[in-house]
Structure 1
Amino acid sequence: MIKIIFSDMDGTLLDDQGNVPEGFDEIVAELKKRGVMFAPASGRQYYSLEDSFSKYKDDFLFLAENGTMVMYRGELIFSCPMEKTLAQQVLKTAESLPNIYGVFCGMKNGYVLTSQYTEEFLKELHKYYTHSDPIPSFIDVPDTPIKTSFFDPSGHAAETIYPVMKPFEPDLQVVLSSDYWVDLMHPDINKGIAVKEVQKRFGIRPDECAAFGDFMNDAEMLQAVDYSFAMKNAYPEIKKIARFETGTNEEKGVLQGIRRLMKEGLM
């Protein structure tokens, strides 16, 4: 029987306007009755996830920053920081890229250069980082980096950012998180590693887990569970990895998938 459901946020659980689907609260109440935990698993900052699900902050398990930080009931149960010097080097490299914005993703906060702390970028940033501060330089940031993120407002991150960051492998993991964002993290972390850490911590087997995703940063998470679902709007490679397919994020595909699991008596 399924004991935990991991779900990506953007392009998966949330609709294209960033809203939780209608009927989500009813599904969560039913999951709670059945003893099933829900776990948002996202590239978003932990505080952003906690703010989005404030009424469930003591019920949900949060896999934040692509799995580099896992929190449960306000307690850090797993983290995988990156070397600060590497984070600074990566951010320095990005400064030469025109119209590209960089974020130092710390365990306490997100940090953006004062020169880039513009209204245009903040509108995008605050979707994922509700806690952020401007900083004059990425040298001596008073925080531990768990990820660096880069945003291309033109939506061509695969061409503008990814090739520039790719040479940092294998010292860092370079992930295309969407058409707009590229993330760099410790080479030994991803959502799948975080899922495995959760499984160990709570004594849960892969066949007691389900997961929903749409993009390449969800690949390892889907591989770490037995009941893996790709959204209908998912990246083609994700559809090859997942065992099942569900509706699009606009069609409330996560809720469809959960109802399917309930109907089949798997929770």
Structure 2
Amino acid sequence: MFKLVVSDLDGTFLNNEGEFERERFADVYAQMKLQGVQFAACTGKQCERVEELFEGFEGIWILGDSATRIKRDGKVVQEFTLARELALQSIEEIEAFDPDMIVIACTGDAAYVRDTLAEDHYNLVKRSYREVIRVSSFAEITGSFVKVTVFDAEGRSAELRRRIEAKLEGQMYIVDSEPRWLDITALGTHKGETVTKLQQMLGVTREETLSFGDGENDVELMQIAEFSFAVSNACENTKAAAAFVTKSNIEDGVLLTVEKMLRLQAPARV
């Protein structure tokens, strides 16, 4: 019997317009509650942006900001911080590689970007972050860092990751989730580790967990669940790590699979 469903959002749970079928999810979520199954969204999106996405649905666990923060019903449960010195050093390396890359430095309160960021790039950031503040220097940030994210329209995230690892290897967790996106968090802080902490909090085992993902940063999600599913549009590494491959994000692969799994464990009618 499964008790926890964990899903990535972009490219997995959400369609290509960044949306989901609310009525269908409402039906599935109601069935999950009846069977005592918890739902967790595990994503690079800011927790507060995810709260907007799931407005009206209570009890959802949000493992946001690249799984550096855990929130539920508006309350922060836990945060995993990145040392300030390492965050600023990584930003130096990023901007030395290409000063025009979009750097997003995140704390538990907001996402910060340079005040020179073009308006179209600022709007791109706002798609994933509700609270975005412009600064002239990232050294101005006073709160504790949780992550640094980079968007590169030219798709050089793997090359950038190798550059940062050459300078700061073994001091932080770095993943190029796709060619245009790279995330930097505290060493040992990633989706798999944060979900493991949630499992411990809930008293849920790996055998009682379903997980869904599509990107390179979802490989760890495939390892923390007995029933791990890569959507059919997933990258090859995630597919190889998954126990199963399901329908794509535009075919509602996550909800389709959860519906079927719920039927399998539904109490038999007398």
Q: What residue number does 2:93 align with?
A: 93
Provide the secondary structure at the position in 1 that maps to 2:17: coil
**Tell me, which stretches of 5 or more residues in structure 1 are unaligned?**
none
Superposed CA offset, 1:57-110 (max 9, x none): x31000012211111223322221010011011112222304311011111100
- The alpha-carbon distance between structure 1 residues 252 and 86, as it changes in their structure 2 partners (threshold 3 A), is same
Distance, in Å, in 1 between the alignment partners of 2:191 and 2:131 is 22
- The alpha-carbon distance between structure 1 residues 238 and 266, as it changes in their structure 2 partners (threshold 3 A), is farther
| AA of the residue aligned to 1:53 | F
Q: Is the 8 A contact 1:173 1:185 kept in 2?
A: yes
Q: TM-score, normalised by structure 2?
A: 0.93
| AA of the residue aligned to 2:119 | E
Map residues 1-267 of structure 1 onto 2, 5 A cutoff: 1-21=1-21, 23-56=24-57, 58-96=58-96, 97-116=98-117, 118-159=118-159, 161-167=160-166, 168-265=168-265
**Tell me, which stretches of 5 or more residues in structure 2 are unaligned?**
none
Q: CA deviation at 1:33?
A: 2.1
Runs of 4+ aligned structure 1 residues displaced above 3 Å come to none
| AA of the residue aligned to 1:30 | Q
Q: Is the 8 A contact 2:32 2:262 kept in 1?
A: no
Distance, in Å, in 1 between the alignment partners of 2:224 and 2:122 is 34
Q: CA deviation at 1:266?
A: 7.0
Sequence identity (%): 28
- The alpha-carbon distance between structure 1 residues 220 and 260, as it changes in their structure 2 partners (threshold 3 A), is same
Distance, in Å, in 2 between the alignment partners of 1:158 and 1:123 is 24
Distance, in Å, in 1 between the alignment partners of 2:123 and 2:178 is 17
Provide the secondary structure at the position in 1 that maps to 2:56: helix
| AA of the residue aligned to 1:193 | E
Q: Is the 8 A contact 1:78 1:197 kept in 2?
A: no
Aligned length: 264
Distance, in Å, in 2 between the alignment partners of 1:148 and 1:184 is 5
Q: CA deviation at 1:206?
A: 1.2
| AA of the residue aligned to 1:138 | F
Q: CA deviation at 1:163?
A: 2.8
Q: Is the 8 A contact 1:109 1:143 kept in 2?
A: no
Provide the secondary structure at the position in 2 that maps to 1:264: helix
Provide the secondary structure at the position in 2 that maps to 1:28: helix
Provide the secondary structure at the position in 2 that maps to 1:123: helix
Distance, in Å, in 2 between the alignment partners of 1:98 and 1:109 is 22
| AA of the residue aligned to 1:164 | R
